[in-house]
Amino acid sequence: MTRCVFAIPGGLEGPAGGYVYARKVLPLLAARMETQICPLPAGFPFPSDAELQETARALSSADRPGTAFLIDGLAFGAMPADLILGIRSPAVALIHHPLALDGDLSAAERARFFSLEGAALALARSVIVPSPATARELAWHFGVPAEKIAIAEPGILRGRRALGSPPGEPLHIVSVGTLTPRKGFDVLVRAMGEVRALAWRATIAGSLDVAPATVAEVQQEIAACGLNDRVRFAGQLDEAAVSALYSSADIFALASYYEGYGMAFAEAMAHGLPIVASGSGAVAGTVPVEAGFVCAPGDAGAIAAALRTLLSDAALRRAKAEAAWQHGQTLPAWPATAAIIAGALERAAS
């Protein structure tokens, strides 16, 4: 029987979507095979030399016959090739999105990650990704062959269908995501500022602790746009509270620069919300045109135009909401995700 050792920086408690993915999948994997969590240093994807040495020791201590390592891409793409070669058991990479494509990197950091990640992916026995778009990115940028990739789309948080705000009340715009530069909350706020003449209120839910400088910038943008009384920060919420937030909304909006899948977009559709989105990567594949608008990354004007259309046209808003709801009901559940990952691990270990 295959033994899975799941290695992830800092353990399982991070707020980002990759950590949510891990927390959902691991109990389901544990029902299929022996599973062990191997916490790695929290410095990834920018580990110090000491943290790389600690990583090598942690992986070596967990290595034994019959094992397949499942290594989160936040660490795997930043591991030197000699560290990976030091693992006797096969390594399976879980790549939510390539590190080299993160929009927050300097040119030198991007070049370094292209080199590191390319060498690491060449050593992986198998690569698991959350979307066809991420599979294409790995093939295009790193030459990862299709037969080496398993697509395991995330399961979706489901809840009560959103029915919209009561007549006469401002429409409720909801956004969900950790406040980091890649999520583009400053762009979203600028777009909201362009439609401040319309009746709406907004709630942003997501961790405020990961990138304090980004939070400060977004707060400054809110003040500059005169939206202090319109935009509320809810902080990081548990699943029940996030589901209730979706259900209370009229529109979901998120101005990401890049997504490997876009779990928040999928969850919002599963709650029946029309979408205003941006971002490269998997966003266009996650959000059907019938369900919303997908704008170019960083284009506050286009996002404002999409918001204005949905806020002003009730019939279109209802049509997009219905399409979102119907599409959301077709999205996968977590047991299917875990089954695909288990299959990849078993093939790697055989």
In 49-80, which positions are buried (b, 16+ CB within 10 angstroms) versus exposed (e)?
eebbeebbebbeebeeeebbbbbbbbbbbbbe
- Please state the pTM of the whole predicted model: 0.87
Domain assignment of residue 26, yes or no: yes
Q: Decide: 22 and 8 in contact? Cβ < 8 Å.
A: yes
The pLDDT score that the predictor gives to residue 116 is 95
Domain assignment of residue 207, yes or no: yes
Nearest to 257 by CA among 222, 214, 228: 214
- Do 107 and 198 lie in a common domain? no
- Do 119 and 179 lie in a common domain? no
- Do 321 and 337 lie in a common domain? no
Domain assignment of residue 314, yes or no: yes
pLDDT at position 13 over 90: no
pLDDT tens digits for range 108-145: 999 999 999 999 999 999 999 999 989 999 999 999 99
Specify which residues 4 forms β-bridges with.
35, 68
Nearest to 266 by CA among 336, 204, 184, 330: 330
- Do 8 and 141 lie in a common domain? yes
pLDDT tens digits for range 145-192: 999 999 999 998 899 999 889 999 999 999 999 999 999 999 999 999
Domain range enclosing 29: 3-155+332-349
- Do 324 and 337 lie in a common domain? no
Domain assignment of residue 162, yes or no: no
Q: For 246-270, what is the mean pLDDT?
A: 94
- Do 193 and 324 lie in a common domain? yes
The pLDDT score that the predictor gives to residue 101 is 85
Between CA 340 and CA 329 the distance in angstroms is 20
Rounded to the nearest integer, the mean pLDDT of the chain is 94
- Do 46 and 94 lie in a common domain? yes
Indicate which CATH number applies to the domain containing 30: 3.40.50.2000
Q: Give the pLDDT band (50/70/90) at residue 197.
A: very high
The pLDDT score that the predictor gives to residue 106 is 86
pLDDT tens digits for range 44-63: 999 999 999 999 999 999 99
Between CA 53 and CA 330 the distance in angstroms is 44
- Do 246 and 258 lie in a common domain? yes
- Do 10 and 75 lie in a common domain? yes
Domain assignment of residue 286, yes or no: yes
The pLDDT score that the predictor gives to residue 258 is 86
- What's the total number of domains in the chain? 2
pLDDT at position 215 over 90: yes
- Do 223 and 141 lie in a common domain? no
- Do 117 and 217 lie in a common domain? no
Token duo for residue 277: 């989105």
Between CA 266 and CA 24 the distance in angstroms is 16
Domain assignment of residue 164, yes or no: no
Between CA 246 and CA 268 the distance in angstroms is 6
Domain assignment of residue 166, yes or no: no
Domain assignment of residue 160, yes or no: no
The pLDDT score that the predictor gives to residue 104 is 74
- Do 28 and 104 lie in a common domain? yes
Q: For 37-50, what is the mean pLDDT?
A: 94
